[in-house]
Amino acid sequence: MIAHRGASGHRPELTLEAFALALRLGADSIELDLVPTRDGVLVCRHDLELSRTTDVASHPELAGRRRTIVVDGLLHRGWFVHDLTFEELRSLRCVERWPAKRPSSAAHDGRSVVPTFAEVLELVEAEAGRRGRPVRVHAELKHPAFVESLGHSLPELVDDVRHPYVTWMSFDATVLRRLHLRGRDRLVQLYERRPRGRHLAAASTYASGVGVRRKVVLPKDDAGRVDRPTDFVAKAHRRDLDVLVWTHRAENEHLPRNLRVGRDPHGHGQGQLAAEMLFEAGIDALITDFPELGVAAREAFEVGLPIAR
């Protein structure tokens, strides 16, 4: 069970608090996103822009850093990780991305700093020692081409990280191939859309798995209800590729219509059932904001309990 940005359904994402809670809730691995500061420190942020997940806008000393840039062809305005030194970034405090949807998480705003990758690995090692077994990390390298244009090479920045239980992920095949050439064998190719056979064939030459959206495995029908599984998992497995599915969430707005409860889009529906159906479809790992639901779903599936439709 892979905790998406930590237990991000319960705490502001990509914080040590979110990671620690995810591990207490039974996650086998924590998923995080890596970007470098101006001085080349790898930190855990999904967005290069900081205003949605930190209090940067409330720091008058950083007001002059707000600007507009283009990343991967898209225009962004705000404050950016790569414009700040690590010391400057460390003055910020993390906040909930979706405060209206997740007010209980937003109640923890302002408690956590942006963690470094090194700090997360220390947390994971401590938890592994407590459990007496490995705890894994799934680390996504964000915007590698853009980061390269800033003078930082993500493959070089992670070169000294030889943790045996880190899996590297990216939407960028080039950076994964470079890692493969550097001797990394735990690599997951991420896809925005369903990859075709030729894409799986190419990925199998350097990656150990693929990560896809839920709908690639369990699509919705015209009425927005979950439909029968596709043959995607079987095709990936024939290429010896594990299948990771992202992102499982519990709120109604993220669930198929037949798994919603009530009319509140922010209310929780049948999140565990949604996860059970994905395990029944043959996936190898679930990336979830709510690790406790994923753990319960996997255990129910493994002991052969009937899945209620």
Catalytic center residues:
4, 46
CA–CA distance, 209 with 298 (Å, rounded to integer): 19
Rounded to whole angstroms, how far apart are CA atoms 128 and 164?
12
d(CA 105, CA 112): 12
How far lies 202's CA from each of 22, 174, 199, in Å?
A: 33, 12, 5
Element (H, E) at 17: helix 16-24
- The answer for residues whose C-beta is within 8 angstroms of residue 290's C-beta and 6 or more apart is 7, 9, 10, 248, 249, 250, 271
Residue 170 CB neighbour total at 10 angstroms = 23
The DSSP element (H or E) to which 155 belongs, if any, is helix 154-157
- Using CA atoms in the order 112, 39, 81, 153, what is the torsion angle rounded to 10 degrees? -120
Alpha-carbon distance values, 276 to 56, 70, 259 (Å): 39, 40, 12
Whether 35 and 50 have beta carbons less than 8 Å apart is answered as no
Distance CA(5)–CA(289), nearest Å, equals 7
Within 10 Å of residue 207's Cβ, how many Cβ atoms?
A: 29
Q: 3-state class of 220 per DSSP?
A: strand
What is the bridge-based pairing of β-strands 2-4 and 67-71? unpaired
